[in-house]
Amino acid sequence: MNIPNSIVRIFLILPNGQIVAQLRDNIPGIASQGMLSTFGGGVDIGEDPMQAAVRELEEETCLKTNYEMEFITTFIHQKTRNNQAVLQDNHLFLARISNIDGIEIKEGVGFVVLRKDVDFEKVNAGEGAQMAWKLLQQYLK
């Protein structure tokens, strides 16, 4: 599994404060198989994190312009590559959307809508997504 050095993570938020998260595929070799996660992916060479977030959101949800993208923070998450620790930059974003009608899932098996006070440690989510969720909750206070 190739682990990018820099990724973007995107949660969507509805006007009522509910959060939309991705339900990952259960495909061998991908991160967080079958778990709840953020939308997002690797930052390509020549891209800044905002450009990557916009690209990834369109690739995974078909959302193009009907949202406002906010940068929240960058955090470091340790991953393992070839039995070696790799520090990965995780750039966390929040996309404010008016409704879920325009979402067409292109990656993952679907999405879930969650209350913003859900304890992400009690759902089936990877460590990086849990870290992102905690930072999102702090941001929304």
As a whole number of angstroms, the distance between CA 136 and CA 133 comes to 5
Q: How confident is the model at residue 128 (pLDDT cuts 50, 70, 90)?
A: very high
- Bigger pLDDT: 99 or 28? 99
69-113 residue pLDDT tens = 999 999 999 987 678 888 999 999 999 999 999 899 998 889 999
Q: Which fold has domain 6-140?
A: Nucleoside Triphosphate Pyrophosphohydrolase (3.90.79)
Residue 1 reports pLDDT greater than 60: no
User: Would you list the domain boundaries of the chain?
Assistant: 6-140
Over range 104-128, report the average pLDDT. Answer: 89
Greater confidence, 25 or 124? 124
Core vs surface per residue 62-96: b (16+ CB within 10 A) or e: ebeeebeeeebeebebebeeeeeeeebebbbbbbe
How long is the chain? 141
pLDDT higher for 81 or 56? 56
